[in-house]
Amino acid sequence: MEDELTIIERAKTNPQDFKPLYQKYFNDVFRFVLSRTGDIELTKDLVSDVFCKVLQALPNYTYQSPSGFKAWLFKIAYTTTMEFFRKQKKEVSITVDETDFNRFINEIAEKNSSSENNKEQLKKQLLEALQQLNPNDLQLLELRFFDNLSYAEIAQITEKTETNVKTKTFRLLKKLQSEILKTYNHG
């Protein structure tokens, strides 16, 4: 694909030139929204809204880096999805695939919990601990571990500094690890 900046600049004046960016990011945005809705038809509608909003806002977008564009796009996807849930007065639920969840568990768990029974117990305890987090903390972990975004991208989406995002994530992981291992070792 040609330089992303060139495509963005052309797409600002000719929406037809947005197609390569749409193709590059569509699956990631779709998966991001679907993990929050759990409904394919609703996700199709919301993703369509997301890309319409992106095209409308694109002329005012200032390119900083490839991760900056992706973060901007995901911020629009996140805001669009949350607006939908607020209007519908529904709670957001996150659906996480097994691979992402296992990767997250590996961040939390010590390497010595290798048996399947231990892993299943750890998963159960982790799910319980995640449900106790406030929505902002949970969002941070979702963006980092389940949506696989970089700290820089998360900082842009949440409008925090990258250092703040890293520090908060580290503290949340330590808190979860402490809670889970306390229960794990004494349960």
- Indicate which CATH number applies to the domain containing 47: 1.10.1740.10
The boundaries of the domain holding residue 158 are 98-186
Examine the domain organization and report whether 111 and 148 are in the same domain. yes
| Amino acid symbol at 99 | T
Q: What is the pLDDT of residue 25?
A: 94
Sign of CA dihedral 5, 9, 15, 16: negative
The torsion region of residue 17 among left (phi > 0), alpha (psi -120 to 50) and beta comes to alpha
> What CATH number is given to the structural domain containing 182?
1.20.140.160
Question: How far are the Cα atoms of 74, 117, 155 from residue 171, in angstroms, in the given order?
Answer: 24, 27, 16
User: Which pLDDT band holds residue 95 (cuts at 50, 70, 90)?
Assistant: low
Please say which residue of 63, 88, 113 terminates a domain.
88
pTM tops 0.85: no
Q: Domain tally for the chain?
A: 2
- Residues 6-24 have a mean pLDDT of 94
In the predicted model, is pLDDT for residue 113 greater than 60? no
Q: b or e along 64-83 (b: 16 or more beta carbons within 10 Å of the residue's beta carbon)?
A: eeeebbbbbbbbbbbebbee
Domain match, 83 and 105 both: no
CA distance 144 to 89: 26
> Given this model, what pLDDT does residue 175 score?
83
